[in-house]
Amino acid sequence: MAISAAEKKQRAAAAAMQYLRDDMLLGVGTGSTVNAFIEQLRPWRDRLRGVISSSDASSRKLSELGIPLFDLNEVGELELYVDGADEATRQRMLIKGGGAALTREKIIAAASRRFVCIVDDSKLVDTLGRFPLPVEVIPMARALVARQLESLGGQPVWRHGVVTDNGNQVLDVHGLRIDDPRSMEATINQLVGVVTVGLFAARPADVLLVAGAEEISAI
């Protein structure tokens, strides 16, 4: 039976609910799949200790539900982080940042004991890179970073009009061959002017929940 991408996102989000525990501090990502997850958090409103959000957009939705929001600096390690991705491999390495929230997402992933990533099956790939790789840059360094990304073989395109929650800009890098995600992440991370590259390879997801037409696979 054919089901829509939106329905698959709902199912992936529903599958993540099994990881919730009472009194938990939960990291929450950004995007349409996470929006489906946030909607499903409604019955958990009084059971969670609170959430740490990766974007102003998710914070608004969580506040509307009445779920307490915490600053990451006020809390220790998070038990669980739930977020989507733009691409994912079976090794649970990811491209993220389609929603421009990659920096806070990477921070929350680093601060979390378990990262559960929820995707529909259109996001599963053998090799990362078909989705243009988001790179958050300090505004004055945009052209400098773009030239450096070109020398790595990519075609960076400035995401015009987008300012991240951190006041920075985003380059989307097309045409990169990402055969070794860890090495590419390290290389781009150390370019002067880069804030964050949307490759999640050094810290991949711990569980990848992939919603297909028939079933949910946990990878």
Chain residues binding ligand 5RP by CB under 6 A are: 29-33, 83-86, 96-102, 105
Residue 200 C-beta: closest distance to ligand 5RP, Å: 9
**CA nearest neighbour of 84 among 180, 175, 11:** 11
- Closest approach, Cβ 142 to ligand 5RP, in A, equals 18
Nearer to ligand 5RP, 52 or 100 (CB): 100
Both structure tokens of 154:
């990519």
Q: Give the 3-state secondary structure of residue 175.
A: coil
Shortest reach from residue 174's CB to ligand 5RP, in Å = 16
CA distance 94 to 125: 10
User: Looking at residue 205, what DSSP letter applies?
Assistant: -
| Token duo for residue 184 | 């590419």
In angstroms, rounded to a whole number, what is the distance separating the alpha carbons of residues 26 and 210? 20
Distance CA 195, CA 102 (A): 10
From the CB of 52, what's the least distance to ligand 5RP, in Å?
A: 15
Compute the least distance from the CB of residue 75 to ligand 5RP, in Å: 22
**Nearest 5°: CA angle at 192, between 191 and 197?**
50
> For the CA atoms of 113, 55, 196, 192, what is the dihedral angle to 10 degrees?
-140
Q: Choose between 100 and 135: whose C-beta lies nearer to ligand 5RP.
A: 100
Tokens of 120: 């529909």
Residue among 7, 64, 79, 105 flagged as catalytic: 105
The token pair that represents 137 in the structure block: 């840059």
**Is 7 known to be catalytic?**
no
C-alpha distances (whole Å) from 206 to each of 91, 92, 115, 148 are 9, 7, 5, 31
Residue (147 or 166) nearer to ligand 5RP, CB: 166
CB 75 within 8 A of CB 26: no
Residues catalogued as catalytic: 105
